[in-house]
Structures are given as C-alpha cells and as structure tokens.
Structure 1
Amino acid sequence: MSLLFAPLTLRGTTVRNRAWLSPMCQYSAVDGVPNDWHLVHLGARAAGGFGLVLTEATAVTADGRISPQDTGLWNDQQTAAWARITDVIHARGAVAGVQLAHAGRKASTFRPFHEGHGSVPVPDGGWGTVAPSGVEFPGYEAPRELSDDEVAAIPATFAAAARRALDAGFDVAEVHAAHGYLLHQFLSPLSNHRTDRWGGSPENRVRLLHQVVDAVRAVWPDERPVVVRLSATDWTEGGLTVDDVAEVARGLAARGVDLVDVSTGGNVPAQIPVGPGYQVPAARRIREVSGLPVSAVGLISAATQAEQVLVEGSADAVMIARAALRDPSWALHAAAELGVTLPTLEHVGADARVAPGQPTGWPVQYERAVRS
C-alpha cells in the first residue's frame, strides 16, 4: 500500500490522496478575475490526479494583491469566475482549495514576466502598500504603517472573502501567513516593530493571525477544513525560528485549524540552504509540537521521495509545486511508479464525472496513451 495514495479525511472532507497541488501564482488575472488560463491550469492538475488542488494566493482586497495580475475574491464577478473553475476541479474528483491572502508590504509589485523588479508605480497601475510597521522589503517602496483600527478591520476582509469562496464552491480554505506577506509580517519581529497590542511580545504578534483564523472559521462550514500556511523560519538571526513557529501552530490547533501547510522564508532576503526536501524537517517538527497534521513542500519532485516523507512521519501530505508545473499529470505518473492501480474514469459513467474524494486514474479520453 502507498501512503501517498491513501485518502486523508479532515473534518467531513475526504481528499482522495496526499499528493496536493501547491499554491503557485500565475500572474495572469485582470482586475482579480480568474480566466481561461486558470481554468485550464487548475483543471489539468485535477485531471492529472492531484487530490487537493489549491489556487494561487487570492487577495482578500484589491490592495492585498502581490501584483496587479493576481486573482482575488472581493467582488461578485470574481466569485462567479471561480465557481466555473471549482466545477471543473470537482468533475475530475479533486477537492478544491482557495488560498486567501494579503501581501502587505510585498504588494503592488511587477509580475516576473520581463516587466521589471520592485514596486509598480501608481501611474502604471500600482498602489501604496501597508504593513505592521513602515519598514520596506528591500527593493520595494516603503509601506504605510497600519493604524490600530485598520489592523482590527483586517479579519473581516478575510471572512468576507471566505464567504465568497464558499459561494464559489471551494471545499478548503487556506489562510496565507507565510512568505513575507501581511500575516507573516505581523508574526516576525524583523518586520513588526509595533509597541501596541499588535506587536512586541509573541502573544501580541500572533494576535492578528488568531483573529483572522477565528473570523474565517466562523463563516466556514464545520465539515470543511481550514488550513494555515506558515513559514517555519525566517532563516535570519533575530527572526522567527522553527520552534517559534511550532508554538504558533500549537495555538492554531485550539482555534479550529485542521492542518498546517509548512513552508519557510520570504519575509527578508536570506541565505537559504535550498535542496531536495529542504523544508521537510521543519514540517516534521511542527507536526510533533502542534499535534496537527501538516503538509510538506519544497523541491519534492520524485514519487519515491514524496512517499518517504509520509512513511517516515514527517508529514501527512505533500505539496507538489514546480514538478507539477512541468507535468500536470505528476500524480498519475507517481501512482504508476509506486505500483498503485487507479480506476479509469470510464468506470464511473460516460460523462467522466466523479464525486470529489473518489480515487481516479487516467481520464478515459487518454487511456490509449496509457495502454500503448
């Protein structure tokens, strides 16, 4: 039996396997509205066997986008566009997850498509950014420090986006508190220099994340999971450590969080020892301390490597990122490599639709390529 292809149930939601598509920005939306690119990109990975298909960082407000081309969930047009995409994901048997985000001081930046680097000027479609403190990310424009009332209003924006995500048909809500974006900025002493109730002590710096999670959990159905992505370390002296973030995760367990998506870095430039599975030890530590299920991500590219992460107890699921960009059917190829036989979609009807959470193999339309 393969652990990678064993189902995982969180609350009342069962994911057909533990090979999950990691959130990856596509920088291809207009006014926050996902389009045919997003439908094909995410739909292909659902057809390619991934159990949970997560969107890119989807902004809860217009000024929370990483770039002007990011997707969002702050209006009805965006909600309707996402509903079309979740229908396609569900039709292929996958579970649809949305990553809710606010970029904070790392917002309003050029997308990485030969358009430059750093902050987009306001005349060119950019906007002023906000942060816990008026400290810029190197190379970006300095942000404006949020007032106490402005910080207190942020959880409601995440809750409103979560309601729209529910209307759009998403099954899993992930709160993005990693990679140097707004919630991570509040968590880290490197970017949070406040002396009020939102800064200083670890208890104050985690306050906003707790309130965001509480607000999302309050509007998200009990049977559907809430996930939080955390950067387990800032990789910089004086910043967050794995043990710091493990305690953050422990606190989330009591607030209705069902899984921690463990990544690292992103809040400040750092020397990171990148290599295959380099973030897996952090995932294992957070799993041990918090008692929560975790996912691991970071240069996990081979089926046997992903399987070993699960067998050794370092994680409960693996997020596949760059390997999934190279191969939309990475999960189905992994099943074959591990000797797992999955039913083709012809066994569930001519329309090739299955209930989310049901194991499926190659779409019947592609079966002759598998047999040859």
Structure 2
Amino acid sequence: MSALFEPITLRELTIPNRLWMAPMCMYSAAGEGPDTGVATDFHFTHLTSRAAGGTGLILVEATAVTPEGRISPNDLGLWNERQQHGLVRVAAGIKSYGAVAGIQLAHAGRKASTDSPWVGGRPIPEREGGWRAVGPTAEPFGDHPDPDALTVAQIGETVRAFAEAAKRALAAGFQVVELHGAHGYLIHSFLSPNSNHRTDAYGGSFENRTRFALEVAAAVRAVWPAELPVFFRTSATDWLAENPQDERAGWTGEDTVRLAKELQAVGIDLLDVSTGGLVPDARIPAGPGFQVPFAERVREATGLPVAAVGLITEPAQAEQIVAEGRADAVLLGRELLRNPYFAQHAARELSAERRWPSQYAKAIGDRG
C-alpha cells in the first residue's frame, strides 16, 4: 500500500491522496480596471487537467483580496462578485474529476505592482498603470519603489478583506482555503524582523510581529465552515542570519515552530511549509527536497499536519517523505506544469489505485 495514495481527512473533508498541486501564479487573469482579476478558460483548462491527472488537492494560485494586493495587473482577484462568479466553473471542474478544490488567498504587500515574469517582472510605476504598494513600514523590496506603511486602521481593513474573500471562495465552491504567509508578501513581511520595523502593536516583539498573521487566520477561520480546513503557507526561514542581534536577522525555523503553535490555537489545520522570498539576495541552498526538514520539524514539535514543497520531482521521493512521517502531504509545482498526469504515473509506479477519467480507459492498459 502506498502512503502517498492513502486518503487524508482534515476536519470532515477527505482528500483522496497526499499528492497535491501547489498554488502557482499564472499571470493570466482577464479584465481591466474594476473588472480585473477574473479567471479565464486558461485557468479552467490548466487546473482541471491536473485534477483529471489524479492530483488529490488542487490549490488555485495566489488570489488577491484587494486591488493593491495583486502581484501583477494579471493576477486573479476575489474582492468582488464578478471574480467570484468566474471561479465557480473552475471549482466545479476540479471537483468533477474527484479532486478537492482549494484556493490561496493573498496580498502581495511591498512586492506588488510588477510585470509578469516572462516580460521581465520589473516594478510597474504608477504613470504606466501601476499602483502604490503597501507594507508594514516604508522600506522597499529590493529595487522596488518605497511602499506606503499601513496604518492600524488599514491593517484592520486588510484583515476584513481576507475574511470577505474567504466568504466568496466558499460561495464559489472551494473546500479548502489557504492563507499566503510566505515569500515576502504582506503577511510574511510583518512576521520577519528584517522587514518589519514598526514600533506599535504590530512590530518589535515576536508577539507583535505575528499579530497580523494571527488576526487574519482567526478572521478567516470565523467565516469558514467548521467542517472544512484552513491552511497557512509559511516561509519557514528567510535564509538570513538567525542571531537577533545581527542587522540581517530574519525569520527562522524556530520562529516557525512558535507561530505554528499559535496558528493551531486559532484553528489552522495544516501548515504548507516553503522558505525564502523576503529579500532578493538571500543565498538559498536549493536541492531535491531541501525544504522538507522544516516541515518535519514543525510536525514533530507541534503535531500540526504539514505539507512539504520544493524540488519534489520523483514518485519514490514523494512516497518516502510521506511514508517516513516527514510530512502529511507533498505539494508539487513545476513538475505538475511539465506533466499534468504525474499523479497517475506515480500511482502506477507505486502500485496504487489510479483515478483515470473513464473516457481515457482505452489508453490505460499496462502503459497507463
């Protein structure tokens, strides 16, 4: 029996296996002005094909909760009903192939207002249709323009925006919602001492720097059904100095364990463990499964279910991570871009049951 293809139940939701699709921005939403951020036929095809490919949970890409929370002008959004309506077909399509439909809610913070990566990813100035980014303080990300520091009132508005987006996600048919607290975006930039130099209740101590993340988590949990899970994605380390006295000190693995306990207390059901993204020049020792130890550490210290992500590309590798109890699930990104049917082929390699659509039955045989 394959551990990777065992179901997992979180609250009252059963996910058919532990091989999941990581949220990956496609920078392909439709619309302009107030009608921006709407899912298209591309999103439907892109996401449902991975569901047909046997992936257990499909997490829709980072979806902005406010207009200024977009990474690019082409990001998905979920701050109005038109955007919600555009995602109904996507969620239904994912579920029609036996997968669970999830969505990641996000705010880009000081990394907002940039071009799509394939045209350079440069910051877009306001005179060219960009917008003012926001952050915990007015310090920029790399060579981006200085963001506006959020006021306490604006922080409260952003917390409510996450909750309102979660309500729309539920109405659109999603069964899992994930909060993006990683990769240098708004929540992460509040967490890290490298980017948060506030002197009020949202900066300084660990308790203050985690306040915004915990308020968002609590607000979303309050509007999300008790029987359905809420995930939180974290960057478990900034890959910077870990000595608090060092001017380059960042968020650490120890901080992540502490936060995981707090998130668990407010009702978060799984920690999606990634790393990095806070600064452009961090030295990251990337390699196969390089982020798995951070997930394992959280799981051992807290008992909170975790998902591991990062250069997981082989069925045997994914199987070993789950079978050894290092993570409860794995999230694949680029490998699923390359091969929408990775899960079907992995199931065959691991002698697990496959969930091919019946329309494909003639092609399965020994080679399926």
The two structures have a TM-score, normalised by structure 1, of 0.94
2:4 corresponds to which residue?
4
1:323 corresponds to which residue?
335
Aligned partners of 1:253 and 1:291 also within 8 Å: no
Say whether 1:91 aligns with 2:96.
Answer: yes
Which residue identity lines up with residue 268 of structure 2 in the other structure?
Answer: V
Say whether 1:313 aligns with 2:303.
Answer: no
Q: Which of residues 351, 363, 369 in structure 1 aligns to 2:363?
A: 369
Q: Which of residues 26, 39, 45 in structure 1 aligns to 2:50?
A: 45
1:247 corresponds to which residue?
258
* Alpha-carbon displacement from aligned partner over 1:74-109 (angstroms, at most 9, x marks no partner): 111110110011110110011000100000000111
* Alpha-carbon displacement from aligned partner over 1:238-279 (angstroms, at most 9, x marks no partner): 101101111101111111010000000001120100000000
* Alpha-carbon displacement from aligned partner over 1:207-244 (angstroms, at most 9, x marks no partner): 00111011100100000000000000000111011011
SS at match of 1:100: strand
SS at match of 2:364: helix
Say whether 1:161 aligns with 2:172.
Answer: no
C-alpha distance in structure 1 between counterparts of 2:89 and 2:322, whole Å: 33
1:68 corresponds to which residue?
73
Which residue identity lines up with residue 327 of structure 1 in the other structure?
Answer: N
2:238 corresponds to which residue?
234
SS at match of 2:300: helix
2:16 corresponds to which residue?
16
2:291 corresponds to which residue?
279
C-alpha distance in structure 2 between counterparts of 1:199 and 1:318, whole Å: 33
| 1:339 CA displacement | 1.0
* Alpha-carbon displacement from aligned partner over 1:119-151 (angstroms, at most 9, x marks no partner): 112232210100001111102111011112111
Q: Which of residues 264, 268, 271 in structure 2 aligns to 1:257?
A: 268
2:344 corresponds to which residue?
332
Unpaired segments ≥5 residues, structure 1: 343-360
Aligned partners of 1:60 and 1:102 also within 8 Å: yes
C-alpha distance in structure 2 between counterparts of 1:290 and 1:193, whole Å: 29
| 1:162 CA displacement | 0.3
* Alpha-carbon displacement from aligned partner over 1:341-369 (angstroms, at most 9, x marks no partner): 33xxxxxxxxxxxxxxxxxx111222222
Aligned partners of 1:250 and 1:291 also within 8 Å: no
Unpaired segments ≥5 residues, structure 2: 31-35, 242-248
SS at match of 2:218: helix
Which residue identity lines up with residue 266 of structure 2 in the other structure?
Answer: R
| RMSD (Å) for aligned C-alpha atoms | 0.9
Which residue identity lines up with residue 327 of structure 2 in the other structure?
Answer: A
Which residue identity lines up with residue 160 of structure 1 in the other structure?
Answer: E
Q: Which of residues 181, 188, 198 in structure 1 aligns to 2:185?
A: 181
C-alpha distance in structure 1 between counterparts of 2:156 and 2:205, whole Å: 18
Aligned partners of 1:247 and 1:289 also within 8 Å: no
Q: Which of residues 155, 179, 202 in structure 1 aligns to 2:206?
A: 202
The two structures have a TM-score, normalised by structure 2, of 0.95
| 1:205 CA displacement | 0.3
SS at match of 1:99: strand
| 1:152 CA displacement | 2.1
Identical amino acids, percent of aligned pairs: 55
1:35 corresponds to which residue?
40
| 1:290 CA displacement | 2.1
Aligned length: 353
